Amino acid sequence: MSMQTYLRKRKSVRDFKPNALKPNDRAFVEQSIKDTHDEFDWDDVSLDFILEGEKVYEAFDGKAGYAGVMIKAPHYIRVSENADNLMVNTKAAFDMASFTSKLVEQGIANCIITLGDNIEDAKKQAFGDNWSGKAEYLIAIGYPQDKGYFEKVKPSERYSVSEIVFEDEDMDHPATELLENLNMLELFSVLRFSPSYKNKQPWRFVVTSSEIYAYVLNDAELAHSLTDMGMIMYYFQELVEKMGIDGSWEIATELDTSKGFIKLGRFKI
Q: Using one digit for the tens of pLDDT, what is the confidence trace for 54-95? A: 999 999 999 998 877 899 999 999 999 888 788 888 999 999
State the number of CA atoms in the 13 A half-sphere of 55 facing the CB.
9
* Lowest-confidence region among 34-43, 115-124, 147-156, 225-234: 147-156
* Lowest-confidence region among 5-9, 46-50, 231-235, 249-253: 5-9
Q: Whole-angstrom Cα distance, residue 68 to residue 9?
A: 25
For residue 170, which of 109, 140, 213 has the smallest C-alpha distance? 213
Main-chain dihedrals φ then ψ at residue 140, nearest 5 degrees: -75, 135
- Indicate left, alpha or beta for 203 from its phi (over 0: left) and psi (-120 to 50: alpha): beta
Q: Regarding beta strands 261-268 and 45-50, do their DSSP bridges make them parallel or antiparallel, or are they unpaired?
A: unpaired
Percent of the chain whose pLDDT exceeds 70: 92
- Beta-sheet strands, E only, within the chain: 45-50, 75-81, 109-114, 135-142, 165-166, 203-207, 211-217, 250-251, 261-268
CA angle 178-159-8, nearest 5°? 90
Q: Whole-angstrom Cα distance, residue 245 to residue 239?
A: 9
CA angle 74-79-84, nearest 5°? 155
Q: Are 221 and 175 in contact (CB under 8 A)?
A: no
Q: Are 49 and 29 in contact (CB under 8 A)?
A: yes
Average pLDDT, the chain: 89
Secondary structure (3-state) at 85: coil
Q: Are 158 and 191 in contact (CB under 8 A)?
A: no
Q: Whole-angstrom Cα distance, residue 184 to residue 176?
A: 9
Which pTM does this prediction carry?
Answer: 0.86
pLDDT at 32 over 70: yes
Q: Which domains does the chain have, with CATH numbers?
A: 3-142 (3.40.109.10), 155-268 (3.40.109.30)
